[in-house]
Amino acid sequence: MKNLKDLVKIRAEIRKKEPLIHAITNPIAINMVANSILFVGAKPICAEHPQEMEDITPKADALSINLGNINQSRMEAMDRASFFASKKGLPIIIDLVGIGASRLRLNVAKNLLDKYKFSLLKGNASEIIALAKGASSAKGVDVGKDDEDKSLEYVIKTCQDLSKKYQAAVLLTGKIDILVKDNKYYLIENGCPELSNITATGCMLTGLISAFIAVTDVINASLLAMLIMEIGAEMSDKDKPYSFFVDLMDKIGTISDEIIIDHAKIKEGEI
């Protein structure tokens, strides 16, 4: 079982080091992603012009790329940033937004994954299944019901197959989050339905993981980011949608270590 007291100590480490996070995300989410990174103590830069990648990416401590609302310029920037991040040995996260709905995004993801070494592949069940199987029941960028209803054993095995293929951790987000690396998995059962009513909460989670991965390993970074986001949501005002969003943003920066430890619902297992 993960030592949660050690896990939350990473929050002090990130505030001490203030790592620079290069987050290439989509315009729908950019403000929320940048603020989420700031609120936990890191520094974001969201540069996306392809000609800047050679200068900016090597100065960062981690890179995250997000396939939401894709365009040609950002596709080129992601490829160039991944090249320079790989050259420096930086941790890289890919958020597979919409690859279950768009062949373009699916092909972009596969091309990047074939060329570069990623630390973490992240997506909902439809996105993970699309990457593994080539098709899914995705409903736009949201998970499709047929994919959401797959058995736990099926999705864990699918994540494991991708983890072994790409030598990376795989995070499947949903009602139960599933984090897999090699033969080990973690189930995270925190969160609340209201998270799905705010756009870009998944992108925010990617930003948080990319901040923590600059100072710790991919498993600890992913677990800590999920607990902050999801327990923060549980603790937030759910009566009004925008009040919930504002409260959630506050909780990302202010939720206490004690609340995280007391409310964490993590299970570990081996495949």
Asked if 92 and 57 touch (Cβ cutoff 8 Å), the reply is no
**d(C-alpha 142, C-alpha 253), whole Å:** 27
Nearest to 215 by CA among 18, 44, 1: 18
Q: Is 139 annotated to bind ligand?
A: no
Phi, psi of 69 (to 5 degrees): 50, 50
Identity of the amino acid at 39: F
Nearest to 69 by CA among 205, 241, 200, 170: 200
Q: Is 200 annotated to bind ligand?
A: yes
| CA dihedral angle for residue 16, residue 2, residue 260, residue 38, rounded to 10 degrees | 30
Tokens 């969160």: give the residue. 191
Q: Is 201 annotated to bind ligand?
A: no
**d(C-alpha 21, C-alpha 225), whole Å:** 15
Annotated binding site: 122, 173, 200
Annotated binding site for substrate: 200
Annotated binding site for ATP: 122, 173
